[in-house]
Amino acid sequence: MENFPSRAEKNPQDQRIRRTYRALIKAVEQLLCETTVEHMTVKQICAAAKIQRTTFYQHFQNMEDFLNWYIQQKQQEFRSFSSGRIPAEQANQAFLDLAKSIMHYLNENECLVKNLMNTQMNGKPLLDLYLSTCVDDLMSRLEDAPKLEQLAGDTPLRFLVEFYVGGMISVFRWWIVNDKPITEQEFMRYLRTRIERATKE
């Protein structure tokens, strides 16, 4: 989902700028299947995107600035699955929908995800910074927090969301790192079983 934020004194509706951004994103994702973020250079990105280095520096101060922007774009892309508020009674389904969205995103961006697992920015794994979007998004969408907390045995909402989302991210990471030791269908079945049982225990 294309949703480029405005950069300093740039018009995000300018089609030339949008073409440049699209080319840069495509270039990075091609390079991520060939090299790591740490070894990627501005020169490589510009060559893959078929743009001049001067054009790159018109939009970004340096590589770190560009990577921060790129991660924001991928977070926005992931948020695109969101669809309004979630009633407390439908929280389980919201977690399952989130799991399906993560699975879809992993299948569409496997090179990116594997690369982010081994890359840090400001002392934190990029994948964790990226997927923190999941927690913030669910927190903002869940309705009637007191009722949901009561249904979960008077457990604070933030604890619930961090627990479920953190657990999902952990098992997704295990699945990817170990070259998918179980099928996608089995993975989702096990996840559904745990989420449904958790509310009955």
**Annotated domain spans of the chain:** 15-67, 81-198
Q: What is the DSSP letter of 5?
A: P
**pLDDT given at position 129:** 67
For 59-73, what is the mean pLDDT? 87
**pLDDT given at position 9:** 45
For 177-190, what is the mean pLDDT? 91
**pLDDT given at position 120:** 67
Architecture of domain 15-67: Orthogonal Bundle (1.10)
**pLDDT given at position 200:** 53
148 pLDDT higher than 80: no
Looking at per-residue confidence, does 55 or 35 come out higher?
Answer: 55
Q: How confident is the model at residue 77 (pLDDT cuts 50, 70, 90)?
A: confident
b/e per residue, 123-142, with b = 16+ CB within 10 A?
A: eeebbebbbbbbbebbeeeb
Which tokens is 138 given?
């669910």
**pLDDT given at position 8:** 44
20 pLDDT higher than 80: yes
> Which candidate, 130, 129, 21, 35, places its Cα nearest to that of 74?
130
> Which candidate, 167, 178, 73, 65, places its Cα nearest to that of 122?
65
**pLDDT given at position 72:** 80
For 51-79, what is the mean pLDDT? 86
**pLDDT given at position 5:** 47
**pLDDT given at position 45:** 96
For 111-138, what is the mean pLDDT? 71
Looking at per-residue confidence, does 67 or 136 come out higher?
Answer: 67
H helical segments located in the chain: 15-31, 42-49, 53-59, 63-79, 91-108, 110-117, 126-141, 145-151, 157-177, 184-198
**Which of 2-6, 16-20, 71-75 has the highest mean predicted lDDT (pLDDT)?**
16-20
**pLDDT given at position 126:** 67
**pLDDT given at position 43:** 95
